[in-house]
Amino acid sequence: MSLSMLKMYISFAGMIFLFLAIGLILLSRYKLKGVLAVIVSILAYIFLISGGLIIFYIVFSGPTG
């Protein structure tokens, strides 16, 4: 597997993490209450931070040659 394909799959994982974060944040704010909402919210923000870091790495690592 080439480096370009590996970066593509890693970026897909980052995008999936960001979409999961959006869904979990909406779920925790509007559908859940109490301790479960806090747990889902923490999980969502973990996905948001990790997805953002992955995309940041992919964008700033430069083109593959």
Which among 2, 18, 11, 16 has a CA at the least distance from the CA of 58?
11
- Statement: residue 6 has pLDDT above 90: yes
* pLDDT recorded at residue 65: 73
Q: How far is the CA of 5 from the CAs of 29, 40, 43, 62, in angstroms?
A: 36, 32, 28, 14
* pLDDT recorded at residue 1: 86
* pLDDT recorded at residue 30: 96
Using one digit for the tens of pLDDT, what is the confidence trace for 25-65?
A: 999 999 999 999 999 999 999 999 999 999 999 999 988 87
Specify the pTM: 0.88
